[in-house]
Copies of this chain bind each other. A is one copy, B any other.
Amino acid sequence: LIEQAAGQTEQSRKKKVAKLLELKARLGGDDGKHQFVLKTAKGTRDYNPKQMAIREKVFNTIISCFKRHGAETIDTPVFELKETLTGKYGEDSKLIYDLKDQGGELLSLRYDLTVPFARYLAMNKITNIKRYHIAKVYRRDNPAMTRGRYREFYQCDFDIAGQYDAMIPDAECLKIVYEILSQLDLGDFRIKVNDRRILDGMFAVCGVPDDKFRTICSTVDKLDKMPWEDVKKEMVNEKGLSEEAADQIGEYVSMQGGMDLAERLLQDQKMSQSKQACAGLSDIKLLFSYLQLFQVTDKVVFDLSLARGLDYYTGIIYEAVLSQAGVAPVSTEAQNGPPGEESVSVGSVAGGGRYDGLVGMFDPKGRKVPCVGVSIGIERIFSIMEQKAEASAEKVRTTEVQVMVASAQKNLLEERLKLVTELWNAGIKAEVMYKKNPKLLSQLQHCEESGIPLVAILGEQELKDGVVKLRVVATREEVDICRADLIEEVRRRTSDAS
């Protein structure tokens, strides 16, 4: 009993100490220093070396596609004058990050790369350019990081500006999406195509009042997340559209096809009454004829339900989606989105369209520069690639080191430094441990962990014989190589020698 009582006292003492320690920890470190909150800002993240290796691989694939199509690249500052962004994003303007007024200009972080691009063209009076721009943009959105949605994220844009013959640059944008998604090997995909003019014409012939085009369009845009019944309800109950008009829209937006559908709709009694729709449909036909030559029609669908949100589109619009089958949730973290949203939102991996009016908004005389472009949804692609890497047995290498210079014996630091210098000077990617006398085992373990394929081992005997013992990490095979031949031998055995 006494022991029990003593035990309880001991326990309560321990509790008190723990509470005090917790308090102390909250107040500061042992030396009374202020304790930092060790985190990144909400909705942002660091990229660790493994994520960077994946990111680099994805960027390389995308950039070489852009380069294959003859694109130049530009860069713009991360912040713009606040007024440059004003009036470009409608309701989403509230998501723009403003900088604090510290005297001087009022600045905001860029929200996308398209508006800075248009500002750049107008400011430099450029009327022709094919450029890509890969950079981070900023939105004070509700982050859903488990689904690859961040407040700081990459955009990866390719745009063609200039007055050209119809649909040729537009078709090349789709060719580029096709090439990138194929090469990234993300599984099957489809590219949906529509035209702002077809949407507007369709609304007109279905009896939607002019002033309701935009709001009805944004309801149609929800068709990939909501069943038609709910979309219709929103149109009729919330937006005051007549039931009849809604039903007519419903008929059109269920249509999908190719050039044939465009041809049929050009003959459609109702649709053919809209000049706008006919212009759009003729262009869709022309577009498909070019897509045939580009050999990409197997993935492209003319889909009348596609209605991208952004106001500035004036012609063709498109969006690429991954087929659901191949795509699992993009993170190992718990899903916190509404059920069902996941499977949809992860699907869209590229989008874009024609925006012939945006540059003119920046030109003092309103001179227009027609533009068409595509944005690759790179963050979603990163998420998928990271997940694939996680699932795969193959290790992601975070360095490209070809050979580790090691020794089995003591007091050979100088010899190791001499040899690694020879390798570096010959352009070989090489490493040496920063220890005077590292253990051979720890040197070999480092190679295993980092995926370094070769070890150049020095010992007294090797030095005397003028050789280096070259060890293949994977097979543990060892062979003496004449020192003069080492560089050639390393190059021969590692394909990526440079």
A positions within 8 Å CB-CB of B: 25, 29-31, 33, 35-42, 44-49, 52-53, 55-56, 64, 67-81, 83-84, 97-102, 104-105, 107, 109, 119-120, 122-124, 129, 131, 136, 138, 140, 152, 160, 162, 164-165, 168-169, 172, 175, 179, 290, 293-295, 361-366, 398-401, 413-414, 417-418, 421, 424-425, 427-431, 434-436, 450, 498
> With A and B bound together, what is the CA distance between A301 and B435 in angstroms?
25
A417→B366 contact, CB < 8 A: no
A152→B77 contact, CB < 8 A: yes
Copies of this protein chain in the complex: 2
- Residues on B with C-beta less than 8 A from A430 are 68-70
Can you spell out 22 A-B residue pairs with CB atoms less than 8 angstroms apart?
A: A25-B364, A36-B84, A37-B83, A38-B122, A39-B123, A40-B76, A40-B80, A40-B81, A41-B77, A41-B80, A42-B104, A46-B75, A48-B124, A64-B498, A67-B400, A67-B429, A68-B429, A70-B399, A72-B398, A78-B78, A98-B99, A294-B417
- Beyond A36-B84, A41-B80, A399-B70, whether A290 also contacts B417 by CB under 8 A is yes
> With A and B bound together, what is the CA distance between A450 and B77 in angstroms?
26
From B52, B72, B99, give the contact of A72 (CB < 8 A): B52
From B68, B168, B364, B424, give the contact of A29 (CB < 8 A): B364
A102→B107 contact, CB < 8 A: no
- Residues on B with C-beta less than 8 A from A428 are 68
From B25, B38, B165, give the contact of A119 (CB < 8 A): B38
User: In the complex, what residue of chain B is closest to A452 when comparing beta carbons?
Assistant: B70
- Given A97-B102, A290-B417, 13 more contacts at CB 8 Å? A33-B366, A37-B83, A41-B81, A41-B107, A44-B77, A46-B76, A46-B77, A48-B124, A49-B72, A52-B73, A67-B429, A97-B100, A99-B100
